[in-house]
């Protein structure tokens, strides 16, 4: 088949004999196609044996260039690529997982309806594998795998070695073939092999959930019960671990490369995945039902402040005011409940910090992803097995003051570091930002008082309130509403101490709720209260409000 066409060539990608994608390749140019399990790939293959981004194919008018990006290899013709690149002719079979692709020049299927394959329903596939192959059988296969490859002796940090997965897949296929008579007929052998490989080397059933872009949070209640959050709503996923031992192994696989540990003497741990997703895990004896894992996923691309406006989290007027306030170095605290979007908003607002400033971020588990060039990121460290070497948030805040920061950003104040943070805001580090747990601006002030008292200094309450009133400029309250949406419900200024000795708060913007729709959606609108902030003159003088622009 000749590929030499003056205006380029029309190319079709076949998966299992059906056209899955079409593209025109211009002459003297190339087009790149991505193949993998993630929904953002050009050709999506829903299989546990396929990596999130498995392979990349560069299409030229006269040839293909295939590059393997996976952990278990890509077969091109009779050759297995493992992180390698090969140039082949059009029509050469490309095997990705259990699927065989062919990329052909021309139109092999004139009447084909071209559409990207939809993801297979999650619940039935998982249920078939989980209910058909009972726990005892899965344990037996896993033990046989350990005996074959001695995985227990391998350093957990080496389990992500790309060369290891093909060996595990080959061993599992052989073991499953040997036990074929004992495996119920309704069980998909390929799915079973993929799930067991993920449990042996990856994150088990969590791999599929992490790859789903619609899932925001994953909650493992026990080995048999895994919930997910989609669009603010909780749902039972249907996924499960073989047993609690496998679930605990996944936790250890996450925390070991980070230098953290989890055992009976230290049964709780905070950690993060490579993509920045936050992980909390609790094991027995604290978790009575067995290993409990909570994963807060974060978008591959950080959510921008413009995107928050598109999602209805705040109004353009509120965003304009907050951008000006951040650029003008106003100290800001984002408060809200668990899962309300505090860190997401803090990350989005940080984009208004000028690029020439030096920023120091301090977090328990690194989540903030600032785009400025001069950012120093610090992360706490728990004590080792001897009880030594701990670095707390307060230690890092104190150390940050010696690092000549222009601004300090603390991921979350939940202890004595709140007092150090307030002092930093008052001593030349204007424009600093942090988050705290509270259900309203007034409660946020009360919580800051309580946290400051945990600093261990014998300060009277009036002194702490004065510190808060002179340090904090704005309180931004975020909430997760009853319909699952997350919105900024108020922007409030701290204006000082009133005659009663209480921190005085003045709302600038508020979300006025007007009702609930028949579908359960919260109805309302963002409104300016009419109050003008005390630092409005400063915004005008410093040029943050151009002539003719609205003040708010």
CATH number at residue 521: 3.40.50.300
Task: Single out the residue in 244, 276, 296 at which a domain terminates.
Answer: 296
Residue showing tokens 């309203």: 440
pLDDT value at residue 487 = 95
pLDDT value at residue 113 = 30
Helix 164-178 and helix 135-149, axial crossing angle in degrees, nearest 10: 130
* Same domain flag for 341 and 478: yes
The boundaries of the domain holding residue 401 are: 305-539
40 falls in which pLDDT band (50, 70, 90)? confident
Lowest mean pLDDT among 30-39, 89-98, 101-110, 395-404: 101-110
* Same domain flag for 291 and 319: no
* Same domain flag for 286 and 309: no
Residues 525-548 have a mean pLDDT of 92
Mean pLDDT rounded to a whole number for the chain: 84
* Same domain flag for 398 and 522: yes
> In whole angstroms, what is the distance from residue 516 CA to residue 519 CA?
8
Q: Which of 25, 95, 23, 26 is nearest to 66 (CA)?
A: 95
Cα–Cα distances in Å, from 470 out to 117, 172, 374, 430, 541? 57, 64, 28, 11, 21
- Tell me, yes or no, whether 255 lies in a domain: yes
pLDDT value at residue 551 = 85
| H-state helical runs in 369-438 | 393-400, 417-425
- Tell me, yes or no, whether 76 lies in a domain: yes
Determine contact, residues 125/133, Cβ cutoff 8 Å: no
Lowest mean pLDDT among 8-17, 23-32, 344-353, 427-436: 8-17
> Residue 132 above 50 pLDDT?
no
Name the β-bridge partners of 216. Answer: none
* Same domain flag for 353 and 490: yes
Number of structural domains the chain divides into? 3
More confident residue, 455 or 359: 359
> Residue 151 above 90 pLDDT?
no
- Tell me, yes or no, whether 3 lies in a domain: no
User: pLDDT over 90 for what percent of the chain?
Assistant: 35
Name the β-bridge partners of 14. Answer: 19, 102
- Tell me, yes or no, whether 550 lies in a domain: no
> In whole angstroms, what is the distance from residue 523 CA to residue 39 CA?
32
* Same domain flag for 199 and 348: no
Q: Which of 241, 328, 236 is nearest to 538 (CA)?
A: 328
pLDDT in tens, 373-396: 999 999 888 877 777 888 888 899
Task: Single out the residue in 296, 327, 358 at which a domain terminates.
Answer: 296
49 falls in which pLDDT band (50, 70, 90)? confident
Determine contact, residues 48/191, Cβ cutoff 8 Å: yes
More confident residue, 457 or 173: 173
More confident residue, 392 or 322: 322
* Same domain flag for 14 and 40: yes
Residue showing tokens 């190339």: 30
* Same domain flag for 158 and 96: no
- Tell me, yes or no, whether 1 lies in a domain: no
> In whole angstroms, what is the distance from residue 413 CA to residue 395 CA?
13
Length, in residues, of the chain? 552
> Residue 116 above 90 pLDDT?
no
107 falls in which pLDDT band (50, 70, 90)? low
168 falls in which pLDDT band (50, 70, 90)? confident
* Same domain flag for 406 and 519: yes
Predicted TM-score (pTM) of the model is: 0.66
Task: Single out the residue in 237, 266, 296 at which a domain terminates.
Answer: 296
Q: What DSSP assignment string belongs to 191-231?
A: HHHHHHHHHHHS-TTHHHHHH-TTEEEEEEEETTEEEEEET
Residues 51-65 have a mean pLDDT of 88
- Tell me, yes or no, whether 386 lies in a domain: yes
* Same domain flag for 353 and 493: yes
Q: Is 78 helix (H, G, I), strand (E, B) or coil?
A: coil
* Same domain flag for 94 and 128: no
- Tell me, yes or no, whether 478 lies in a domain: yes
- Tell me, yes or no, whether 111 lies in a domain: no
Return the CATH number at 75.
2.60.200.20
169 falls in which pLDDT band (50, 70, 90)? confident
> Residue 325 above 70 pLDDT?
yes
* Same domain flag for 172 and 92: no
């Amino acid at each position: 088949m000749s590929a030499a066409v003056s205006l380029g060539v029309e190319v079709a990608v076949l998966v299992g004999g059906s056209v899955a994608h079409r593209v025109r390749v211009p002459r003297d140019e190339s087009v790149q196609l991505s193949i993998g399990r993630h929904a953002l790939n050009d050709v999506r293959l829903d299989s546990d044996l396929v990596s999130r981004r498995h392979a990349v194919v560069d299409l030229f008018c006269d040839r293909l260039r295939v590059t393997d990006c996976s952990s278990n290899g890509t077969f091109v013709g009779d050759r297995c690529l493992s992180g390698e690149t090969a140039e082949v002719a059009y029509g050469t079979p490309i095997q990705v997982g259990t699927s065989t692709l062919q990329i052909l020049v021309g139109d092999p299927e004139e009447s084909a309806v071209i559409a990207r394959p939809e993801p297979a329903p999650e619940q039935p596939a998982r249920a078939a594998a989980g209910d058909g192959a009972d726990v005892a059988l899965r344990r037996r296969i896993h033990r046989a795998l350990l005996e074959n490859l001695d995985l227990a002796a391998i350093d957990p940090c080496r389990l992500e070695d790309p060369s290891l997965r093909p060996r595990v897949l080959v061993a599992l296929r052989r073991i499953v073939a040997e036990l074929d008579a004992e495996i119920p007929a309704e069980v998909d052998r390929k799915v079973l092999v993929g799930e067991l490989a993920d449990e042996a080397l990856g994150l088990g059933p969590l791999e599929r959930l992490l790859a789903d872009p619609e899932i925001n949070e994953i909650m493992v209640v026990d080995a048999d019960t895994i919930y997910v959050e989609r669009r603010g709503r909780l749902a039972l996923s249907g996924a499960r671990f073989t047993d609690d031992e496998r679930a605990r192994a996944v936790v250890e696989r996450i925390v070991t490369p980070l230098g953290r540990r989890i055992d009976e003497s230290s049964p709780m741990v905070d950690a993060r995945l490579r993509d920045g997703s936050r992980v909390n895990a609790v094991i027995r004896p604290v978790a009575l039902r067995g290993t409990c894992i909570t994963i807060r996923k974060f978008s591959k691309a950080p959510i921008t402040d413009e995107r928050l406006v598109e999602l209805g989290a705040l109004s353009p007027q509120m965003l304009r005011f907050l951008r000006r306030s951040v650029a003008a170095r106003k100290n800001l605290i984002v408060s809200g409940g668990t899962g309300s979007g505090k860190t997401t908003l803090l990350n989005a607002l940080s984009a208004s910090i000028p690029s020439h400033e030096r920023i120091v971020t301090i977090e328990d588990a690194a989540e903030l992803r600032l785009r400025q060039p001069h950012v120093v990121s610090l992360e706490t460290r728990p004590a080792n097995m001897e009880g030594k070497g701990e670095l707390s948030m307060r230690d890092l805040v104190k150390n940050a003051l010696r690092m000549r920061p222009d601004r300090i950003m603390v991921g979350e104040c939940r202890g004595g570091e709140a007092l150090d943070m307030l002092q930093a805001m008052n001593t030349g580090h204007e424009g600093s930002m942090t988050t705290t747990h509270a259900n309203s601006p007034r409660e946020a002030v009360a919580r800051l008082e309580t946290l400051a008292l945990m600093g261990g200094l014998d300060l009277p309450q009036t002194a702490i309130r004065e510190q808060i009133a002179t340090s904090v400029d704005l309180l931004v309250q975020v909430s997760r509403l009853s319909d699952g949406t997350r919105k900024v419900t108020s922007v409030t200024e701290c204006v000082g101490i009133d005659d009663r000795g209480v921190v005085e708060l003045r709302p600038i913007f508020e979300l006025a709720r007007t009702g609930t729709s028949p579908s359960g959606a919260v109805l309302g609108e963002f409104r300016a209260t009419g109050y003008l902030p005390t630092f409005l003159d400063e915004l005008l003088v410093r040029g943050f409000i151009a002539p003719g622009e609205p003040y708010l």
